[in-house]
């Protein structure tokens, strides 16, 4: 397979001549396509481990933003804005991920990765020292810049290894991401269990992790310059970027995400604060689609991404659904468990995901198939949510086993959807392919979070007050104490509960049981919705094509370019 990375294809309106030296890196990759094992050096292994460390650090932060956001609000206030702790990362990733991915083809991958980790460390430090919710959200906005490098992590992880190892490369990244998630959940749960401000130490640890990841990438990852880096001038590079596409995409997705996030939090869906950004965002996005379809065929959504087969388009849509499923899992718990137990419950998903990623490494070697495990992953999601929707307050043991199904699903879907997209795309577009994939997943998370939050809040408003009143009034609580009792119960304020007239241990017990029941009823509706999304996506994923011929020894971007022997 010949590598087609050519600067001329990336410079709109430029007649650029390039000599043999400018494309030697590409030609070397093509000439040695059948000898990928020669490039599996210690240097390659160290760079791959550095990528894994950065991936784990990113997962440590993103898990904390979902799992411990309410701990932050409990300490510094701003509970009505807590969703922005997670959404800040989502919006920055969606808006900046694809442009940075495209820019890395012209300026190289390295310093985008290093700079992203530095931003992550600075943002984590701001969050750790935050005294207001605004400061905490601002810190996460800055940390969000770190995630624009995530597409480059998965692109570099694939392009420095033989194509036959791409499932293994993505599996390794996801496995270390799982380790970062487990470490984050257990560490954060322990830090916040008995300390109102324990989350500060959690983000101090994040500072250290992201700082170390920046240093390791800077020290270890020194690839040969890409042809576009050394052949094109700054003016040519800048003119090659799709500036109009960036502007349209950024404006549409920021407005759309803001409208979704404000829906029922705190504004109603019919409020102008929600409708205006939603409608304007959708209109601008339609303009973006028209621009990329009819006016900019080699822009952000490069048309060559869809030429080979249908796998890229399918992977893009399935990854959006995968994001909707993932954010449902990271932002909800089945019961109001104490912090450590809730964290441990999430960890089962990550443990299973690590096992699934390891299994993919071996399975892909022998089967060279992607479609069947992708379909199975979404079927596992559907089964998990269906089982959770039938859970009761007495299903304590069962719900500790269900997350293993979800973990196996994520272990396969994250690994193989990325692999399918990368193998479907031209080699020179692997970075933008990865950027669009992760932007799609982040957008799915934003949409899914808004949908699940709206469903949950609607159900809670229907059941919470009614169910608690029905339980505590027969237990002896005066009707005049219902409203303050519910408020104190929801905030878990024991001192305030003791001051409410008519409150007894029996009343508190009845109220807690009713509150848990209301939570479970509300989660049930959310889980049913997630099961439907998963089932539909499983059907769609049946149309993937197994790219068996792509499992070869070709390396798209070897770290060490061999020297051709002199011809005699």
Helices 69-76 and 42-67: crossing angle in degrees, nearest 10, is 50
Q: What is the phi/psi pair of residue 263, to 5°?
A: -60, 115
pLDDT per residue as tens digits for the range 109-119: 999 999 999 99
Distance CA 344, CA 314 (A): 34
Q: How many residues does the chain have?
A: 568
In the numeric block, the tokens 């609580």 are attached to: 477
Cis upstream peptide for 216 (omega within 30°): no
DSSP result, 233-280? -HHHHHHHS-HHHHHHHHHHHHHHHHHHHHBTTTB-TTSHHHHHHHHH
CA atoms within 13 A on the CB side of 127: 38
Give the model's pLDDT for residue 207: 95
Region at 18 (left for phi over 0; alpha for psi -120 to 50; beta for the rest) = beta
Mean pLDDT of 276-305: 91
Query: What is the pTM for the complete model shown?
Result: 0.81
Q: What are phi and psi of 84, to 5 degrees?
A: -70, -15
Q: Decide if 97 contacts 147 (C-beta within 8 A).
A: yes
The mean pLDDT value for 41-57 works out to 91
Of all residues in the chain, what percent are helix, strand and coil, respectively (each to 5)? 75, 0, 25
What pLDDT digit, counting tens, does each position of 59-76 carry? 999 889 888 888 899 899
What's the rounded mean pLDDT across residues 229-257?
A: 87
Q: Mean pLDDT, to the nearest integer, of 369-385?
A: 94
Cβ–Cβ under 8 Å, residues 440 and 514: no
**CB count in 10 Å sphere of residue 123:** 27
pLDDT tens readout for residues 3-42: 444 444 444 334 343 333 333 343 344 434 444 555 578 8
Distance CA 335, CA 98 (A): 38
Burial track 53-86 (b if 16+ CB lie within 10 A, e otherwise)? bbbbbbbbbbbbbbbbbbbbbbbbebeebbbbbb
Total H helices, total E strands in the chain: 21, 0
Tokens of 271: 């409020």
Closest to 418 (Cα-Cα) out of 405, 428, 431:
431
Tokens of 363: 């399975």
* CB atoms near residue 568 (< 10 Å): 3
Contacts with 45 (C-beta within 8 Å, 6 or more apart), sequence order: none
Question: Which residue bears the tokens 């379809």?
Answer: 293
Residue 95 has a pLDDT of 83
Average pLDDT over residues 429-453: 85
Structure tokens belonging to residue 479: 């009707």
**Cα–Cα dist 492/71, whole Å:** 13
Q: Over the stretch 313-369, which tens digit does the pLDDT of each residue have?
A: 999 999 999 988 876 665 555 455 566 677 777 788 889 999 998 898 888 888 889
> What is the structure's pLDDT at 489?
83
Counting Cβ atoms within 10 Å, is residue 130 exposed (0-12), middle (13-18) or buried (19+)? buried
Write the pLDDT tens digit of every residue in 256-282.
878 877 877 677 888 888 899 999 999
CA pair distance 25, 35, nearest whole angstrom = 15
Sorting pLDDT into bands at 50, 70 and 90, what band is 205? very high
Q: CA nearest 448: which of 375, 543, 529, 353?
A: 529
Nearest to 533 by CA among 404, 379, 388: 379
Cβ neighbors of 192 (< 8 A, separation 6 or more) are 68, 71, 198, 199, 202, 339
What distance in Å separates the CA atoms of residue 347 and residue 78, rounded to the nearest whole number?
Answer: 28
| Average of per-residue pLDDT values in the chain | 84
Using CA atoms of 460, 464, 466, 467 in order, give the dihedral in degrees to the nearest 10: 120
**Residue in this structure with the two tokens 């205006």, named with its chain if needed:** 276
Q: Are 515 and 490 spatial neighbours (Cβ–Cβ below 8 Å)? A: yes
Q: Which residues pair with 263 in a beta bridge?
A: 267
Residue 139: which pLDDT band, with cuts at 50, 70 and 90?
very high
Cβ count within 10 A of residue 45: 12
Which of 307-311, 367-371, 407-411, 485-489 shows the lowest mean pLDDT across its residues? 485-489
3-state SS, residue 403: helix
At how many degrees (to 10) do helices 311-331 and 339-367 cross? 160
pLDDT digits (tens, 9 = 90+) for 153-182: 999 999 999 999 999 999 999 999 999 989
């Amino acid at each position: 397979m010949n590598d087609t990375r050519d600067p001329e294809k990336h410079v709109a309106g430029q007649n650029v001549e390039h000599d043999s030296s400018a494309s030697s890196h590409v030609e070397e990759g093509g000439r040695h396509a059948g000898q990928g094992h020669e490039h599996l050096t210690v240097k390659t292994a160290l760079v791959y481990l550095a990528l894994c460390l950065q991936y784990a650090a990113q997962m440590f932060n993103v898990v904390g933003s979902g799992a411990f956001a309410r701990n932050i609000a409990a300490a510094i206030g701003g509970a009505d804005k807590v969703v922005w702790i997670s959404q800040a990362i989502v919006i920055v990733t969606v808006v900046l991920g694809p442009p940075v991915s495209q820019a890395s083809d012209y300026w190289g991958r390295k310093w985008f990765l290093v700079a992203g980790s530095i931003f992550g460390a600075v943002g984590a430090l701001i969050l750790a020292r935050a005294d207001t919710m605004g400061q905490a959200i601002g810190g996460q906005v800055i940390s969000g810049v770190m995630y624009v490098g995530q597409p480059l992590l998965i692109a570099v992880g694939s392009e420095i290894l033989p194509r036959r190892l791409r499932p293994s490369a993505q599996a390794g990244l996801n496995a270390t991401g799982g380790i970062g998630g487990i470490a984050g959940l257990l560490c954060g749960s322990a830090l916040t269990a008995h300390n109102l401000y324990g989350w500060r130490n959690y983000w101090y640890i994040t500072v250290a992790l992201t700082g170390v990841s920046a240093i390791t990438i800077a020290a270890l990852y020194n690839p040969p310059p890409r042809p576009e880096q050394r052949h094109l001038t700054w003016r040519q590079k800048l003119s090659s970027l799709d500036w109009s596409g960036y502007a349209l995409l950024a404006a549409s997705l920021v407005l759309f995400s803001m409208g979704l996030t404000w829906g029922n939090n705190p504004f109603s869906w019919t409020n102008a604060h929600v409708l205006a950004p939603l409608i304007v965002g959708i209109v601008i996005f339609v303009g973006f689609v028209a621009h990329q379809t009819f006016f900019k065929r080699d822009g952000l959504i490069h048309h060559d991404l869809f030429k080979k087969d249908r796998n890229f388009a399918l992977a893009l849509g399935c990854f959006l659904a995968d994001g909707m499923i993932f954010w449902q899992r990271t932002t909800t718990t089945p019961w109001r468990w104490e912090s450590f137990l809730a964290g441990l419950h999430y960890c089962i998903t990550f443990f299973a995901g690590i096992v699934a990623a390891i299994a993919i490494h071996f399975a892909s070697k022998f089967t060279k198939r992607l479609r069947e495990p992708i379909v199975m992953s979404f079927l596992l999601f559907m089964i998990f949510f269906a089982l959770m929707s039938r859970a009761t307050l007495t299903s304590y043991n069962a719900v500790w086993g269900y997350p293993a199904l979800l973990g196996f699903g994520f272990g396969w879907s994250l690994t193989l959807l990325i692999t399918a997209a990368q193998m479907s795309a031209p080699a020179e577009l692997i970075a933008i392919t990865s950027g669009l994939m992760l932007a799609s997943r982040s957008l799915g998370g934003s949409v899914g979070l808004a949908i699940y939050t709206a469903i949950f809040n609607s159900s809670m408003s229907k059941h919470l007050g009614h169910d608690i009143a029905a339980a505590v009034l027969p237990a002896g609580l005066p009707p005049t104490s219902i409203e303050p009792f519910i408020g104190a119960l929801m905030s878990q304020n024991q001192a305030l509960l003791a001051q409410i007239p008519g409150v007894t241990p029996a009343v508190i017990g009845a109220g807690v049981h009713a509150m848990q029941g209301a939570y479970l009823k509300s989660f049930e509706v959310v889980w049913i919705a997630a099961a439907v999304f998963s089932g539909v996506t499983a059907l769609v994923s049946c149309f993937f094509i197994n790219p068996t011929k792509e499992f070869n020894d070709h390396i798209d971007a070897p770290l060490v370019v061999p020297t051709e022997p002199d011809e005699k």
